[in-house]
Homo-oligomer: A and B are copies of this chain.
Amino acid sequence: MAKQKKAPRPKAQTPKGFRDYFGAEVTERAHMLSQIAGVYHRYGFDALESSAVETVEALGKFLPDVDRPNEGVFAWQETEEDGNGDWLALRYDLTAPLARVYAQHRNDLPLPYRRYAMGPVWRNEKPGPGRYRQFYQCDADTVGAASVAADAEICAMLSDTLEVVGIPRGDYIVRVNNRKVLNGVLECMGLTDDAQRDAVLRTIDKFDKVGEAGVRELLGRGRLDASGAYIDGVGLSEEQAEPVVAFLTSKGADNAATLDNLRAAIGASAVGADGVDELGRIAELLAAGGYGPDRIVIDPSVVRGLGYYTGPVFEAELTFEILDDKGRKRQFGSVAGGGRYDDLVKRFTGQAVPATGVSIGVDRLLAALREKGRVGGAVQGPVVVTVMDRDRMADYQAMVAELRNAGIRAEVYLGNPKNFGNQLKYADKRQSPVAIIEGGDEKAGGVVQIKDLILGAKIAEGATLEEWKERPSQYEVPRDQMVAKVQEILDLYA
């Protein structure tokens, strides 16, 4: 007779590209987001938490390089009875839902509408190292304000935000550019062929990597890249390419000089002139608010999401150095960016609604704060009350209650108390600063033993005999002085 097969056990595994966050990973992010929310609130921005699930129809196809429907998003079809057979999907960013929310609720929302949103988004993309399919975004946008005062305000808010979360002035710069200036440059080059125009835009995007000489080569005949491969050029003459190079290298000694250079680069283009004027107004408004070029600066080398933005674009870059994987120094780099996009709501209502906003890379900014030592220091675990006598659990429960009532993080050991070594190992795993012991003798004598586990660990690591004598790592105190003594030890390490 064949043996009956048991159903196999399910695998305990997050889906590919997803992960879990534990302890400080969760609380540090929550703390940073609440600091950011505080700044946004002060600027008059209101919180919005839109549904995580949208109809595919409402989400639209704004993901880069997406041709096939539902590519890049997690999507499924509703049954007829539950939802009319609609295709639903998880949001892939916080901007597409904002457009839907604004179109849906516009009669109830103030105009202009300033809102911030924080939460996970999902991308159905191939995961890679450090690249997950669920991650946090943190956005602030102003919908319905055509004035560049709205863009300037977002830049100021971004600058304040970075300082509030712990990036000191001087360690970051917000760089501002304008898509219209670039359009002006292309116009004055007389590029009418769309393919050639796109090729120029793609080349501009590589400026950061290949520099001025590289861009000249790529705009012309082509370039031998570092790997030895030959990259075909756009095929422009040196003269034709000049305005692009002038544009990219027009950053001057101050904003005024940069604006002069840009005015030269755009020639007679009207849209270009409009773009330069907007940058001038932004610089003026920021100066009035006290935001000098040490914090926010006009910089034409910022080139973001070319197809998406329609006016000012901005990027926050952290300028302090870190070591990369190979031990080489490099700047930390971009942690936030955004700009003006005027056509998102139009899909729904037919009316163009001007909008501008910024998105902070939550994980990048957290990583930066860790680099700066602003988060992620030694985590202090709870005080652990050990269990010497399992029949006296009520006594131990009373102890933790006392400690908690004094505001001290504390727990009683809830595992099998038989092996005391396991209890101390547990306290170690919990990174507990203090363990409390009350055996039968202590109970009879009206005292408790209080172990300073941080000092204990130091001694175990090889303190000198003098240190050992000077400060014992275990104290016997009367039971009614337990809380005070624990507090005294915690204060040593606060």
Contacts and interface: CB of A to CB of B under 8 A. Distances in A.
Interface of A: 9-27, 30, 34, 37, 41-44, 46-55, 57-58, 60, 74-76, 78, 82-84, 86, 88, 90, 100-101, 103-105, 110-112, 114, 120, 122, 124, 126, 133-134, 142, 144-147, 149-150, 152-153, 156, 160, 281, 284-290, 347-350, 381-382, 393-395, 397-398, 400-401, 404-405, 407-412, 414-416, 426, 429-430
Contacts of A51: 14-15, 18-20, 134
B49 A20 contact: yes
B12 A26 contact: no
18 contacts: A11-B348, A12-B103, A15-B55, A15-B86, A16-B82, A19-B51, A20-B104, A27-B37, A41-B409, A44-B409, A44-B411, A75-B76, A76-B76, A111-B426, A146-B416, A153-B414, A285-B393, A289-B400
B111 A88 contact: no
- Interface-centre pick from A49, A60, A156, A426 (highest chain B CB count, 10 A): A49
A415 B354 CA distance: 11
A415 B112 contact: yes
Contacts of A82: 16, 124, 126
Given A350-B9, A410-B44, A397 B289 contact: yes
A98 to B, nearest CB: 10
Contacts of A133: 53
A58 B289 contact: no
Number of this chain's copies in the complex: 2
B152 A397 contact: yes
A270 B284 CA distance: 82
A52 B273 CA distance: 48
A48 B22 contact: yes
A9 B348 contact: yes
A414 B145 contact: yes
Nearest to A428: B110
Given A53-B122, A82-B124, 19 more contacts: A11-B55, A11-B58, A14-B54, A18-B53, A21-B47, A21-B50, A22-B46, A22-B47, A22-B48, A26-B49, A27-B37, A41-B409, A44-B430, A52-B120, A52-B122, A53-B134, A74-B88, A289-B401, A290-B405
A57 B11 contact: yes
A15 B54 contact: yes
Given A41-B409, A42-B407, A48-B21, A285 B75 contact: no
Nearest to A33: B30
A44 B120 contact: no
Contacts of A114: 411, 414
Contacts of A14: 50-51, 54, 100, 104
Contacts of A398: 288-290
B20 A105 contact: yes
Contacts of A407: 42
Contacts of A349: 9, 12
Nearest to A346: B9
B401 A290 contact: yes
Contacts of A134: 51-53
A400 B430 CA distance: 47
Contacts of A112: 414-415
A77 to B, nearest CB: 9
Nearest to A87: B15
Given A20-B48, A415-B112, A55 B13 contact: yes
Contacts of A48: 20-23, 26
Contacts of A22: 46-48, 105
A153 B410 CA distance: 12
A10 B58 contact: yes
